[in-house]
Amino acid sequence: MLGVGIDRRLEDDVAVPARHLAPHHTLGALLVGSWTNFMLFALELILIWRYFTLFPRRQDDTLWIRVLVLLMLAIDIATTADLSFLLYWVRQKSAD
């Protein structure tokens, strides 16, 4: 949940609630999370491509399983694009 943690600063011994942090305080966590997401998204693209090319007419897979795989890909494309926009937005706000 956003804004619930406490940030301990080294220069003073005052605890600051996370909801009062500036965007540049969370940029490192967003970068690491987005890089991990991008790597897993690339792996997902490779696996889906292999699934559809190596098993084009598999008897066990019905149509709804293939549609479910494509739906999962569409959702992951949307969340990766949203994460990219969020990272860009936070970077622009921290530059101000």
Asked if 15 and 8 touch (Cβ cutoff 8 Å), the reply is yes
Q: What is the pLDDT of residues 76-93, one digit of tens each?
A: 999 999 999 988 888 787
3-state class (DSSP) for residue 61: coil
Q: Which residues contact 79 (CB under 8 A, 6 or more apart)?
A: 37
Tell me the pTM.
Answer: 0.67
Classify the C-alpha dihedral 78-84-90-95 as positive or negative.
negative
Q: What is the pLDDT of residues 43-65, one digit of tens each?
A: 999 999 998 888 777 667 788 88
Q: State the average pLDDT for the chain.
A: 79
